[in-house]
Amino acid sequence: MEELKETVKFMVDKELENSNKKFDSIFHTTHEGYAIIKEEVEEAEAELKNAKMMLEDCWFDIKRNTTPNRNIIAIKNCAINLSAEAIQIGAMCQKFIDSFEK
């Protein structure tokens, strides 16, 4: 798990670097920073909600003695998307810190 966390920290730094190249390297107001972080959190919540719905569908398939491969693939894709959103949250939090650090 520690190795995975280090990889995630690296990806957060890369995402911040990419964001800073594409957009301003700082947030101009705390309101702007808050709104962007909130949007990323909402996107992560949507991915987790999708994964939970697919997991429920998976359970229905299992109870009907059907192999839920499509649902498992969908859950995997949600997990990848959720991970990417979490990385973006971390990057935007660091941008907030960098923007308003005193």
**The dihedral sign for the CA sequence 94, 76, 41, 29:** positive
- Quickly state the pLDDT bin for 96 (edges 50, 70, 90): very high
Exposed, middle or buried, 73 (CB in 10 Å: 0-12/13-18/19+)? Answer: exposed
3-state percent breakdown (helix, strand, coil) of the chain, nearest 5: 85, 0, 15
pLDDT exceeding 70 applies to what percent of the chain? 99
**Residue type for 67, please?**
T
Instruction: Please identify which residue in the block is written with the tokens 């935007």.
Output: 92
Residue 65 DSSP one-character state? T
Mean pLDDT of 6-21: 97
